[in-house]
Structure 1
């Protein structure tokens, strides 16, 4: 089984592929605004020597992130999943960041709160709170992804005992992609197989509803 991960939510393109055994490849290219021009070229080169038919499922970062980059990544993943007739998983970039952070640090203890934020427009923030199950290596949503003003976010944080506060640069892009694939694999093992129609980009309050994970 091979799974492909795609993240275009920042100025970088990050791709990952894994068979959850000996094959685990991840690579990042800083393409800036040229992501739309070179995305398919890098996808084909990165996939080789595998063929598209060998992919069992796909996972894409739904945002929050760059408006244009997020849209391009999700549309590309939806098109691939539709053409290949395989499941497509969508993972919030905040969830992936929290999972990658918790997995990489043994000092995240059972039940500790992890706050993750990403800057929005005009003083707003995308934010979410998570708890970590160290024994089972699983992440749970304590406060779902929301798009609120900075003051409201700070008030929310002041009412909780936050043990870890993550900014957008806390985890490198490869770590985000690894976490996306790992989280989607958990859903796959649980028997969840979302279709391409289920996955929408998340830009904030004016677009689709926040990703559920």
Structure 2
């Protein structure tokens, strides 16, 4: 049982790619992130990796859960979302769904100033792509969205960038994204600090279209 003086943690799951990422933190002294190359074996290993990862902590040590909600692999995203929603429901703690693209933008945020746009793109199927554009907020501790996650043709993406007069090269997501689990956690913690306490049912996956993995 957690004592009254024990720190409470946030836990993040990132399952949208071939690389599983888990991250936990008390946002003061302890932060721990780990990745595994699971590819199509995610469903076979996720629960055991989770139990091993949080030990010696117990589920009662967590104040919220965060999960990468997509875009990404349909099956892997679904597994992560179902796991996170189940944990949140059973533990009766908030669940934050965080965009895969936002997490990748935050992973690289130290390369950008407050007012700099951060365009991010990810390959999708049928010749399309996912695009989103962010800026750091004025405090530099989270992101604002100039363009929410959208699936579109490359020429549409180029036009949006031109219309917004964004001439910097977009960040292009790699095939393995589990290493950005801590970015998912940090973005969720900002919302927690703002007093947000989303119910597990509010975490909705963004499947869009399945990402091309070859």
Q: TM-score, normalised to structure 2's length?
A: 0.89
Distance 1:170 1:21 in 2: 31
Matched, 1:96 2:100: no
Which deviations, in whole Å up to 9, do the C-alpha atoms of 1:151-190 show, x marking residues without a partner?
211221222223351001299632x111111111111111
CA drift at 1:144: 1.4
Q: Which runs of 5+ in 2 are unaligned?
A: 1-7
| Cα distance in structure 2, aligned partners of 1:14 and 1:99 | 15
Which residues in structure 2 correspond to 1:73-152 (within 5 Å)? 73-103=80-110, 105=111, 108-133=112-137, 135-152=139-156
In structure 1, C-alpha distance between the alignment counterparts of 2:191 and 2:136, rounded to whole Å: 17
Answer with 26-35 or 126-135: which moved more: 126-135
The match for 2:31 among 24, 30, 53 is 24
- Partner residue, 1:162: 167
Q: Decide which structure has greater strand share.
A: 1
Q: Which structure would you say has the larger RCO, counting Cα contacts within 8 Å and 6 or more residues apart?
A: 2
- Note if contact 1:3-1:181 (Cα within 8 Å) is conserved in structure 2: yes
Taking the aligned partners of 1:143 and 1:38, their CA distance within structure 2 comes to 35
- Normalising by structure 1, report the TM-score: 0.89
How many residue pairs are counted as aligned between the two chains? 202
What SS does the aligned partner of 1:37 have? Answer: helix
1:173 counterpart (154, 174, 178): 178
CA RMSD of aligned residues (A): 1.8
Matched, 1:202 2:209: no
Q: Judge conservation of contact 1:113–1:164 (CA < 8 Å) in 2.
A: no
More deviation in 113-122 or 161-170? Answer: 161-170
Give the distance between the partners of 2:68 and 2:172, measured in 1 at CA: 17
